Amino acid sequence: MDAVTQALYDAAQKVRKHAHVPYSEFPVGAAILADDGNIYAGCNVENAAYPQGSCAEASAISAMVGAGAKKIHRIFVIGKGVDPVTPCGGCRQRIREFATSETTIICTGEDGEPKSYTMNEILPDSFGPESLEAVK
Ligand code: THU
């Protein structure tokens, strides 16, 4: 693991400790290296009205956008178990909104090995901001 990925891992683990997961008992932490050089982290926040819960990736993206950063260079996601915990479909699209051609998504379970993906691997032939620009 390089130094930046280690810093993302540390941030994701730290925020994951605060995940509000009384229903799934599946805490997730996400940490983003943004284009401003800073790291933004978020955890999943569940709700008694189940659909109102939010994923760790969505929380981290909100923190990034609220701070004024525009692009995701790298995002690290950690959840439970051995297999890599990969973003849900909705979060793949949320990440896509702020992705570049270089964006890397690194996923792991706390008991497993991190696995790295490109944006196109986890969301092939995606629709994004450029798709709208192209027809303006
Ligand atoms: N979850 C995330 O926060 N991120 C993922 O990448 C996968 C799933 C959350 C949603 C829910 O709070 C719990 O994990 C179980 O699905």
* Tens-place pLDDT, residues 36-85: 999 999 999 999 999 999 999 999 999 999 999 999 999 999 999 999 99
Task: Give pLDDT, residue 1.
Answer: 86
Say if ligand 1 is within 6 A of residue 95 CB.
Answer: no
Q: What phi, psi does 88 have (nearest 5°)? A: -65, 170
- Confidence (pLDDT) at 133: 87
Ligand 1 atom 3: residue of nearest CA: 55
What residues contact residue 82 under an 8 Å CB cut-off, 6+ apart?
109, 111, 112
**pLDDT of res. 134:** 83
The percent of residues above 90 in pLDDT, for the chain, comes to 96
Please write the tens of the pLDDT for every residue from 95-121. 999 999 999 999 999 999 999 999 999
CA distance 100 to 82: 29
Read off the tokens for 111: 């008991």
- What pTM does this model have? 0.96
Contact between residue 129 and residue 119 where contact means Cβ atoms under 8 Å apart: no
Q: Which of 25, 57, 130, 133 is catalytic?
A: 57
